[in-house]
Amino acid sequence: MQNNQPKVAIIEDNADLREELIFFLQHKKFAVWGAESAEIFWKQLHGTPTDIVLVDLGLPGEDGFSVVEHLNKVGGLGIIIISARGQQQERLQGLSLGADLFLVKPVNFAELAEAIGALWQRRNQHHALLLPQSDNTGCWQLLRTEQILCPPSGEPIKLSAKECAFIHALGHQANEVISREELHDVMFEYEKIPDLHRIDVILNRLRNKAKNKDLALPVRSVFGKGLVFKGKLVTI
């Protein structure tokens, strides 16, 4: 392994799992530390540097969703949710709050190490990707900090915060249909009387932005079911 590995923090209240993860990732040459709660994590974060945070959702005290939201506001850190909760609604909520990845327990440790490495590599390439070159693989790129959507070729599209969250939620589950109701609940904080027209407004704005740059937005409507991102999206 290379020496420029990221520093990893783990917030997991299951002591056995936390220690197993620390042991395995240290064996893979990552610098790792762990905390059993959000409160302990925040205290230790001030004096212990980290690059990527693994967050369990079912924490005592402050829950994982709150941690992800605050980490996203802090900025500069990769965020991976690791949880036994794997419903689509929870995935969407975690991603909309700022998580880069959502992995469902039980997690394959080797795949987790690969995911951490891939996320770290993407973050290191971040500035180089601000002026993307043509991508023959047809992969779209979402630069979340800058709120820019980069097509495989052509001009990047500047997004609003809601447009960025919309693309991130759909793209993370590319080629899977997500209902408008689920998207609305996550993006507009579970309002009692949802206005699904707001989702269509966001989609129409995005399509117009893409059209103005002679691009076809890879988001399709599936009648009676919802929306789907057709293709592949890499989020940075």
For residue range 9-32, what is the model confidence (pLDDT) as tens digits?
999 999 999 999 999 999 999 999
CA 188, chain centre distance (Å)? 18
Q: Does position 36 have pLDDT exceeding 80, yes or no?
A: yes
Given a contact cutoff of 8 angstroms between Cβ atoms, the answer to whether 221 and 157 are in contact is no
pLDDT at position 174 is: 85
- Report, in angstroms and rounded to the nearest whole number, the Rg of the chain calculated over CA atoms: 18
How high is the pLDDT of residue 26? Answer: 94
Q: Do the beta carbons of residue 32 and residue 116 sit within 8 Å?
A: no
Residue 206 burial class via C-beta count within 10 angstroms: exposed 0-12, middle 13-18, buried 19 and up: buried
Domains, the chain, in order of start with CATH, read 7-124 (3.40.50.2300), 127-235 (1.10.10.10)
The pLDDT of residue 82 is above 60:
yes
Residue 3 has pLDDT above 60, yes or no: no
Q: What pLDDT digit, counting tens, does each position of 181-194 carry?
A: 888 887 887 667 77
Residue 194, exposed/middle/buried by CB under 10 A (0-12, 13-18, 19+)?
A: middle
Give residues with Cβ within 8 angstroms of 21, minimum separation 6: 10, 12, 32, 34, 54, 109, 112
Mean pLDDT of the chain: 86
Q: Which tokens go with 204?
A: 């129409």
Spatial distance between the Cα atoms of 32 and 50, rounded to a whole number of angstroms: 8
